[in-house]
Structure 1
């Protein structure tokens, strides 16, 4: 196993682009599924063909965004070892640069609070 790693590193150090691409694909494959990302990208009517490099770039950017989101949510969380939906939804609600996620990650509202607000809005205001 170690010999295979050394051989891979040696080829990469020499500038063998094929081995570097394979290494990049192996590394990214541990994260988000590339086939799904490519399928999502192909769902756009503007995208005729999508290269493997574009798929890998979008996957890496997405992983970086998720890491940043989690890091910021943990920083603002009460518990530094546990991340809850509430922490992410509060972060999305408070940070203006994350407002585009407000429909996807809304604040949780308890049913009794929602019903109380409905009842209050239905009562006539004299």
Structure 2
């Protein structure tokens, strides 16, 4: 799985920063290539707007929330996959997620949510 991620398999192609054209001559503060989120931004924005405490959400905020969600799902899936491997399986099961949530303090806020 890690080998696939390192090889770039399944990853979205990097998108060039619009201000970093080769002929423009102006420097850009962003050195990392911009990667578009895999989650649909319209759906993320609809979820944000569903919260009665939120009146406005900029596109940048929606983008950051989508990217943070992707990183969170990736992290918990990798941690749960370790437990699946210990059980000599390649498929994640609910018990693998439960084990990851119980074992790591960073997921303590999720305890009891999958019941």
Q: So what's the TM-score if we normalise by structure 2?
A: 0.63
Deviation at residue 87 of structure 1 after TM alignment: 0.3
- The one of 45, 48, 60 aligned to 2:55: 48
Q: Which has the larger radius of gyration?
A: 1
- The one of 67, 70, 79 aligned to 1:72: 79
- Distance of aligned partners of 1:36 and 1:105 in 2 relative to their CA distance in 1, 3 Å threshold: same
- Which one scores higher on RCO, CA 8 angstroms, separation ≥ 6? 2
For structure 1, which runs of at least 5 residues remain unmatched after alignment?
1-7, 18-23, 107-126
Aligned to 1:97: 106
The structure with more helix, counted as a fraction of residues: 1
- Distance of aligned partners of 1:82 and 1:10 in 2 relative to their CA distance in 1, 3 Å threshold: closer
Asked whether the 8 Å contact 1:34–1:59 carries over to 2, the reply is: yes
CA RMSD of aligned residues (A): 3.1
Aligned to 1:21: none
- Distance of aligned partners of 1:79 and 1:34 in 2 relative to their CA distance in 1, 3 Å threshold: farther
- Distance of aligned partners of 1:11 and 1:101 in 2 relative to their CA distance in 1, 3 Å threshold: closer
**What's the secondary structure of 1:56's corresponding residue?**
helix
